[in-house]
Structure 1
Amino acid sequence: METSQKLAGKVALITGGNSGIGLATAQRFVAEGAYVFITGRRQAELDAALQTLGGQAFAIQGDVSNLGDLDRVIATIREQKGTLDVLFANAGIAEFAPLEGVTEAQYDRQFDINVKGTFFTVQKALPLLPDGAAIVLMASIVGSKGYEANSVYSATKAAIRSLARTFTTDLKARRIRVNTISPGPIETPAFNAVLDTPEKMAAFKAQMVSGVPLGRMGDADEIAKAVVFLASDDSSYVAGVELFVDGGTAQV
């Protein structure tokens, strides 16, 4: 992995860093010189991720929708490093259902993890963030497009894009840059588990790819490289934006 140490000496937190885009970004961050804390709900996946990441990473089991877990994550970072230069609020879930089939539990679960979890991850990290720190929020093209059976998930991602704007103004006195990353269809374990049979997944992927001008799915490392840009001084005059990494899907 070619790198240029863009995050040398930085301390980073990636929520949902145990698989998919979060893990790919953690690998990039470590390669760029950062010490990385990752969180996830499943200990076995965290343990496997640490085997991949090596000695420049530390895993903390926790659920971002649980404020007690978030307090424990921040306390651990404070004890071990005392500061936090980069926050990638990545943890999230997606559940799809037609409008008439959405349950209250599905609604609550997605808003609790995706929106409440993102909001309070940022709020609770603020005391550790120095002036000039970088925050990246995980949104999605679904916040801008009206896909069928996506109503609740899409609404959570539109909310996250809004948070990047308001956080930017709330934190302007501290020069903390807050930006959003919005992926298109990306090959990840979570994406590949959306439907229950390989045949359904193949048809779903074909449908998604048909709407991508570049004609293919993206991979997690392509998102990770964009997050490195937003986390590093390469984007020192970028604040409040939504960076689409989607093969053109939401752009044309």
Structure 2
Amino acid sequence: MKKLAGKTAIITGGNSGIGFATAKDFLAQGAKVIITGRNEKSVNEALAKLGDNAYGIISDSAYMEEVTKLAEQVKTITPTLDIVVINAGVGKFDALATMTEETFDEIMNINFKGAYFSLQQLLPLINNGGSIILNTSINAHIGMAGATVYAASKAALLTLAKNLSAELTDRKIRVNAVSPGPVVTPLHSTDKLGLSTEDLKQMGDSLTQKIPVGRFGDAEEIAKTITFFASDDSSFILGSELIVDGGMYNL
């Protein structure tokens, strides 16, 4: 039997990268999947690739007026949810000396505030015994120049996993976090990271040297970890984190 048969899931930022790979894996495991994305074209392109049993919602976690509509949008597709994957995020890097308030707010609004209030909206729809998975980052554990705000936003998600688990024990809803290391996704581009081509290459080369397996991860590898947390295979795990980084943190 498929691991997620009969389950309904929502994946924020499911139109590309890790979110899209997770949507594919969920569908393969029998789930009904809703993806969100802020760009209608990219969401529709993702749905065309995902095929049957996939649904899309246009929503941008950066804006509270859109976040507060999320539950009502979901209810046009399904009355309840079994799995919520908070994956929508932005990766931007700058030194403390040159970080602007605008960039600071963008990172925190999408990566933490948007995630937090998306969960607040979706919580009444989650069935008892459901699963929430937060996609965080290895940057919450390691020091990297220019990553102060990004790392802080992801560390906030880690503490959310622990504290929200404590809040939801009476409903048997499990909250866990997946912390990927460097992964090959559309996020690793000059425009997404706010880096020059040269700086992006230098960062990639430097990171690869620090990964014991000698390469970046694939989105599909992270997706399988998220599927583990979404399924009953992890039924005795809550408030926990799995670091998926090719040994970068532990070795």
- TM above 0.5, one fold? yes
| Cα distance in 1, alignment partners of residues 35 and 57 from structure 2 | 6
- Mind listing any 5+ residue stretches in structure 2 that lack a counterpart? none
The Cα of 1:104 is off from its aligned counterpart by: 0.4
- TM-score, normalisation: structure 2: 0.95
Residue 227 of structure 2 corresponds to 228
Of 14, 31, 52 in structure 2, the residue corresponding to residue 17 of structure 1 is 14
Q: How does 1:88-167 map to 2 (within 5 A)?
A: 88-167=85-164
Q: Which moved more, 1:135-144 or 1:55-64?
A: 55-64
Identity of aligned residues (%): 43
Residue 196 of structure 1 corresponds to 196
- TM-score, normalisation: structure 1: 0.95
The Cα of 1:142 is off from its aligned counterpart by: 0.2
Q: How does 1:41-120 map to 2 (within 5 A)?
A: 41-120=38-117
- Mind listing any 5+ residue stretches in structure 1 that lack a counterpart? none
Q: Deviations over 1:22-67 (max 9, x none)?
A: 1010111111111111111111111110111112111111112323
| Cα distance in 1, alignment partners of residues 62 and 185 from structure 2 | 22
Residue 209 of structure 1 corresponds to 208
The Cα of 1:73 is off from its aligned counterpart by: 2.5
| Cα distance in 2, alignment partners of residues 15 and 119 from structure 1 | 12
Residue 240 of structure 1 corresponds to 239
| Cα distance in 2, alignment partners of residues 80 and 141 from structure 1 | 34
| Cα distance in 2, alignment partners of residues 87 and 143 from structure 1 | 21
CA RMSD of aligned residues (A): 1.2
Size of the aligned set, in residue pairs, is 248
The Cα of 1:250 is off from its aligned counterpart by: 1.1
Q: Which amino acid aligns with 1:19?
A: S
Task: Could you list the structure 1 runs, at least 4 aligned residues long, displaced by more than 4 angstroms after superposition.
Answer: none
The Cα of 1:174 is off from its aligned counterpart by: 0.6
| Cα distance in 1, alignment partners of residues 15 and 117 from structure 2 | 20
